[in-house]
């Protein structure tokens, strides 16, 4: 159970970060790993509670007390084996997951007040960091190697999308002997891991390393292939025994105000992937390159994507000022990106219009403060009279979230049933398109408990099925979809399930 009195003897110590003045000059990861003595000490704080609630916070069902104890005792390889039994990619979740497991740690009940920060300091185990250090140690020691299947089934599965859900499903299905081909519309495999998360949070060499491992296990990756355009759905249906759609939720919420099409107004998921390509050494046509250098920038959205935009803006030298505006009544949560630059963060702000100059470049944002009130169980937004304001801005980055998967192509061609969040009624892609003309509607591909859509042999997983969510949920979705596909193909499956999957198959 770790050190019996560890949680009493040692405080929670968060990882150090590189100095701000140093890290804003590059795109390298900003966190510094613990020394081995320190990470083992942090792991020793785990009490191995009689009922470890950390399991309920992690959809993967990670055996957290077990590998904390093993790390404390210096048994790193055994810790890695237990960690990999539930999580294909712990070096990703150890860097880019908001650690819901830590929110459910029993030690949070023993919080302290931080007088300097004027906030509550939670004392949870540094679960995410222990997880990350186990994976990194595994790669350093050469313990992580390809695991090819012992026998082949002759069954063929096409996976559309190579993000965390697609990669997890591909690895699970290959290891039980199926022939797996992953189709990726971008030029590199990795999906969200490559083009949605900045390098300063997740170094892309880690993604390439996992793709290389999965390739060595026998999975075939076909990049620059947009299914529905470069290859037809009918071709896939004829050639493969099952298809998994793992394309993510890429239908971004739109800014429906005057001036939303001005030059200088960009979606976050156009901006961030482009910068990741530049960091990778790609050349971007200057006529389409997006940069905040020497500009006053405004970010609309206070979530993780907004923070990723902020960190990227800071690293594009010469920015003048940054505003971050959030519609709901909650100031954007502090992140490492907020440590790096002074940011005017405001909550409860509605953007009413954007004004441009004579050449069509955005120059002003007109907004108003709003209050949110309960009305018959629903939150209703009310403008505050006299609170109107104007911001001078040269660039606006839209990080307002995603409504669902792309409707064009796959979803429409297969005529997949869709579900609207909070409703049981199923709708068609055409229905959703009509709804979106009137108001924002959150939707996803509908499946049964076995992850299969209304088309036989066609499955969905990840954000396309769940809606925009966390990295750890995407991995869970990929693993569970793989289990369901294996049972569909073979009649039974030996792939492991997580505790959350008890009601699936």
Q: State pLDDT tens for residues 152-171.
A: 999 999 999 999 999 999 99
Using CB atoms within 10 Å of the CB of residue 401, give its burial: 0 to 12 exposed, 13 to 18 middle, 19+ buried.
Answer: middle
Using CB atoms within 10 Å of the CB of residue 42, give its burial: 0 to 12 exposed, 13 to 18 middle, 19+ buried.
Answer: buried
Domains of the chain listed by start with CATH number: 6-141 (1.10.1060.10), 156-251+403-501 (3.50.50.60), 254-400 (3.50.50.60)
In the predicted structure, residue 502 carries a pLDDT above the cut 60 = no
Please report which confidence band the pLDDT of residue 120 belongs to, taking 50, 70 and 90 as the band edges. low
133, 33 contact by CB (below 8 A):
yes
Strand ranges in 81-187 using DSSP code E only, listed in sequence order = 112-114, 119-121, 156-160, 179-183
pLDDT of residue 247: 97
What φ, ψ does residue 389 adopt, rounded to 5°?
A: -150, 165
- Cα–Cα distance, 333 to 222 (Å, whole number): 38
Tell me the β-bridge partners of 493: none
* Mean pLDDT confidence for 253-268: 96
222, 49 contact by CB (below 8 A):
no
In the predicted structure, residue 251 carries a pLDDT above the cut 50 = yes
In the predicted structure, residue 4 carries a pLDDT above the cut 80 = no
List CB contacts of 381: < 8 A, sequence separation 6 or more.
Answer: 327, 350, 370, 371, 372
* Mean pLDDT confidence for 295-318: 95
212, 221 contact by CB (below 8 A):
no
Tell me the β-bridge partners of 452: 459
* Mean pLDDT confidence for 440-445: 95
Instruction: Output the CA angle 102-40-125, nearest 5 degrees.
Output: 15
Long-range CB pairs of 79-82, under 8 A, 24+ apart, other chains included: 79/134, 80/134, 80/135, 80/137, 80/138, 80/143, 80/144
pLDDT per residue over 195-244, tens digit each?
999 999 999 999 999 999 999 999 999 999 999 889 999 999 999 999 99
Helices (H), 298-376: 304-315, 336-340
Q: What is the dihedral of CA 278, 282, 286, 291, to 10 degrees?
A: -10
Percent of the chain's residues with pLDDT above 70: 96
- Cα–Cα distance, 326 to 329 (Å, whole number): 7
In the predicted structure, residue 369 carries a pLDDT above the cut 70 = yes
Please report which confidence band the pLDDT of residue 503 belongs to, taking 50, 70 and 90 as the band edges. very low
């Amino acid at each position: 159970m770790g050190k019996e009195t560890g949680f009493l003897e040692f405080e929670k110590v968060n990882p150090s970060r590189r100095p701000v003045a140093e890290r804003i000059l590059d795109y390298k990861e900003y966190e510094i790993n613990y020394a081995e003595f320190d990470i083992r000490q942090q792991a020793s704080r785990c009490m191995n509670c009689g009922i470890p609630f950390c399991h309920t916070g992690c959809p993967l069902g990670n055996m957290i007390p077990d590998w904390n104890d093993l790390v404390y005792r210096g048994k790193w390889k055994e810790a890695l084996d237990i960690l990999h039994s539930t999580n294909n990619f712990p070096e990703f979740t150890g860097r880019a997951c908001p650690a819901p497991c830590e929110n459910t740690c029993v030690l949070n009940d023993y919080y302290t007040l931080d007088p300097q920060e004027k906030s509550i300091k939670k004392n949870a185990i540094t679960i995410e960091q222990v997880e990350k250090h186990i994976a990194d140690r595994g790669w350093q020691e050469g313990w992580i190697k390809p695991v090819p299947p012992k026998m082949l089934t002759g069954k063929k599965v096409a996976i559309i999308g190579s993000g965390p859900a697609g990669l997890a499903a591909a690895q699970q299905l290959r290891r039980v002997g199926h022939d797996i081909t992953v189709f990726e519309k971008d030029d590199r495999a990795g999906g969200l891991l490559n083009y949605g998360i900045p390098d300063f949070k997740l170094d892309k060499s880690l993604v390439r390393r996992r793709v290389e491992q999965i390739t060595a296990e026998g999975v075939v990756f076909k990049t620059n292939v947009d299914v529905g355009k470069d290859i037809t759905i009918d071709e896939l249906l004829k050639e493969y025994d099952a298809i998994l759609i793992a394309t993510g939720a890429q239908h971004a919420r739109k800014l429906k105000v005057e001036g939303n099409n001005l030059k200088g107004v960009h979606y976050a998921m156009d901006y961030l992937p482009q910068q990741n390509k530049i960091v990778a050494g790609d050349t971007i046509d200057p006529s389409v390159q997006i940069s905040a250098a020497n500009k006053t920038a405004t970010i609309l959205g206070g979530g993780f994507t907004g923070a990723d935009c902020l960190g990227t803006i800071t690293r594009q030298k010469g920015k003048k000022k940054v505003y971050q505006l959030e519609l709901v009544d909650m100031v954007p949560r502090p992140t490492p990106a907020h440590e790096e630059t002074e940011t005017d963060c405001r909550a409860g702000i509605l953007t009413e219009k954007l004004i441009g100059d004579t050449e069509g470049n955005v120059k002003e944002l007109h907004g108003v403060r709003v209050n949110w009130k309960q009305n018959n169980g629903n939150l209703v937004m009310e403008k505050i009279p006299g609170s109107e304001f104007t911001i001078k801005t040269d660039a606006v980055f839209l990080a307002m979230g995603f409504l669902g998967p792309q409707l064009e192509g796959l979803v429409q061609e297969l005529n997949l049933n869709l579900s609207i969040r909070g409703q049981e009624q199923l709708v068609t892609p055409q229905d959703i398109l009509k709804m979106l003309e009137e108001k924002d509607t959150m939707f996803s591909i509908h499946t049964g408990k076995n992850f299969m859509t209304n088309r036989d042999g066609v499955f969905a997983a990840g954000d396309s099925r769940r809606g925009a969510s966390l990295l750890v949920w995407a991995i869970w979705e990929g693993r569970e979809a793989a289990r369901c596909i294996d049972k569909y193909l073979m009649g039974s499956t030996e792939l492991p399930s997580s505790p959350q999957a008890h009601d699936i198959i």
